[in-house]
Structure 1
Amino acid sequence: MKIQKKVNKNSLFKKFFIKICRMLDYEIIDQGNFYLPITNQEINEDLSIIGKKSLTIPMGRVEITRPVKSLTVILRTCASVNMLTQSKKRLFDREKSEYTLRSLSSIINSLNFARELFKNIDLEMIVVDHNSEKDLVEKIKSILASQFFKNRFIHLDVDSFKKNINPINEKNEKVSFNQMSNMSNIHQSLLLAKGCDDLIYFVEDDYIHSIHAIKEMILSYEKLSSMLKQELILCPTDYPYLYSKIDNSKILLGDKSHWRSIKETLCTFLMSKEMVIKYWEELISTCKFEHYPFEKPFHNIYEKEYCLSPMPSLAIHFTNINSVFGISPNVDWKKVWDESKLK
């Protein structure tokens, strides 16, 4: 007796349907198995493709019309100054040099986690240092030398910038030498930014980053800039002061994080070269005159442009625990600290 093989018509139809959807560039989800048959991925995998599409379940796909071409990380270091405007101790009460090294290491760890992205995006890190001890400088240079990305170390010449600084600030007080050093470092960083191609991440040496920070910032920049059809500013930190008053905010969905519109940051943020050129006078004014608050010119920019910060935080400002500019809420900051050593 001849055995008849059963043909699963549903299976044949499913394969044919998937093939057609793939040809038409459609996304479909097998919700019974949490599976995307078109791309052969589990639903909880990284679904976005840098420069092409952002895919978030269940919101769907966003075509990337504003791809990121390059990222330059400009890290400003000064291990000789514990805290610029405070005499209080930092969380964990360590030497400033340890916060500097942990900030550098956490950024490098985050860049390595996002390494796959940099097959299509040019990457460079520049460290601009003032007055750190020789041993620390050599350690930073040694760490940079073993990385997969281009890097530079610049010794800041404060004297070449001091002549541009008004010695009296907005409070009619004398500008301190440490503040002049800070203003000079920002000035140097902005000049470097003019020579960059696309995104610049200006960051201070007391921000410890989660492993996901850089990847989330790049993918979210592409997605949200494409959706809003304009350039953005991204701040990686969810500061406590953002909860000290009730402000209206827009909540946007990035790649993996929620982002909200804000009107204030400190001096750590990501912006494009296009924005640097557009707001050059506002940005450079922070290097010539000490405003009150210091970041006032930045805040004026945020009245005109989208500035977004993540919830929860992607990077934590390790200052005094009671500072409204410090430890982000609802984050395991001890875990972030413990993971901030170079891997």
Structure 2
Amino acid sequence: MNVAGANPKINIIFRSCDLVNAVHNAPRPFNLDKKTLIKLCFKSLHNALQGFNYHIVVLGDNLSPEMKAFFLNFDIEFVEGVFGNDNSIRETIKIAERFNDDEWVYFCEDDYLHTKDAMQKIVTLISEKETIQPSSIKIKQLLRKRKIKLFSIPRFFTKPNIVVFPTDYPDRYEQEYSNRDFIFHTTNSHWRQVYDTTFTFLMQVKDVKRKRRTLWKSANKANDRYLSNNLYGKSFFFNKLLCLSPMPSVATHMHIETMSPLQDWEGIVNELKAEI
């Protein structure tokens, strides 16, 4: 679906497989089976996209007839095959490279539940991204009750573009993992810098093409650690991107151990059950 005059264009590549309940056998919340979970997650994303300029590609990896029938009820592009996890990631990269450089692509796994305002906050962030800039490292010294700046170290030569990771993971509030990160705000939300993601994230198409080698290599054994280490900057952003995650979360990974805080996910699930 395209809404005339809306910007930016968001291309969603929804990667789905209903044969495996969870890659690491992590328990699902609210006693959801995998098919119901996929339906709820897709419907939550579809609802959040209404009113925006979007195109959805569903990449079905050996999907059951029930799931195929579900997806084909929507206005989507359907790509079907038997890929396996690694090759399905590579296939999403190929699909993303078809889109125009100034458009955005949302690589979305099938077990992320979204809030109603998820895309509103993401689109606002993208629209206001030029105001988001990591500051220089400033070295100061206190002299006669005044702080004198001795020198500053730039964190980048070219202002880094952003990657959006829509999930606020709970372990980022644990003291042993806490870091001093950049925190920004847009007109409707707060965002903070993060250094690691899963394979669910949103980035501009020109960056997908520029970072193709990293993305492609990360697909080997679905290595999101390699992806994060080579794609996102920490203190410096020389040839790296700035990854931002919302506070509170606008999506959650539907594993019991990693549910994002400060959102009523069970309430969202119960509302969506009436729609599928």
TM-score by length of 1: 0.65
> 1:260 & 1:290 partners in 2: Cα distance?
25
In the TM superposition, 1:50-69 aligns within 5 A as 68-69=7-8
Once the two structures are superposed, what CA deviation does each residue of 1:260-298 show, in whole Å capped at 9, x if it has no partner?
00101111100011111111111100223554xx43223
Matched, 1:189 2:127: no
In the TM superposition, 1:272-287 aligns within 5 A as 272-287=204-219
Aligned-residue offset at 1:254? 2.0
> 2:180 & 2:36 partners in 1: Cα distance?
38
> 1:184 & 1:249 partners in 2: Cα distance?
34
Length, aligned pairs only: 237
8 Å Cα contact 1:75-1:202 kept in structure 2: yes
Query: Which residue of structure 1 lines up, in the alignment, with residue 180 of structure 2?
Result: 248
> 2:36 & 2:130 partners in 1: Cα distance?
35
Query: Which residue of structure 1 lines up, in the alignment, with residue 227 of structure 2?
Result: 297
> 1:227 & 1:78 partners in 2: Cα distance?
36
8 Å Cα contact 1:68-1:199 kept in structure 2: no
Aligned-residue offset at 1:327? 0.3
Larger mean CA deviation between 266-275 and 221-230 belongs to 221-230
Q: What code does the residue aligned with 2:48 have?
A: S
Query: Which residue of structure 1 lines up, in the alignment, with residue 77 of structure 2?
Result: 152
Aligned-residue offset at 1:224? 2.0
Query: Which residue of structure 2 lines up, in the alignment, with residue 10 of structure 1?
Result: none
Give the number of the structure whose alpha-carbon radius of gyration is greater: 1
Relative contact order, higher structure (CA 8 A, sep 6+): 2
Unpaired segments ≥5 residues, structure 1:
1-50, 52-66, 146-150, 159-180
Once the two structures are superposed, what CA deviation does each residue of 1:186-240 show, in whole Å capped at 9, x if it has no partner?
1100100001121000111111100000111011111023544542100110011
Aligned-residue offset at 1:68? 4.6
TM-score by length of 2: 0.80
Which structure carries more strand by proportion? 2
2:202 to 270, 281, 287: 270
Q: Percent identity?
A: 27
SS in 2 for 1:337: helix
8 Å Cα contact 1:265-1:299 kept in structure 2: no
1:232 to 154, 162, 170: 162
> 1:334 & 1:156 partners in 2: Cα distance?
33
Query: Which residue of structure 1 lines up, in the alignment, with residue 127 of structure 2?
Result: 222
Instruction: Note closer, same or farther for the CA distance 1:100–1:243 as it changes in structure 2 (3 Å cut).
Output: same
Query: Which residue of structure 1 lines up, in the alignment, with residue 64 of structure 2?
Result: 133
Unpaired segments ≥5 residues, structure 2:
134-158, 234-239
Q: What code does the residue aligned with 2:253 have?
A: H
Query: Which residue of structure 2 lines up, in the alignment, with residue 333 of structure 1?
Result: 265
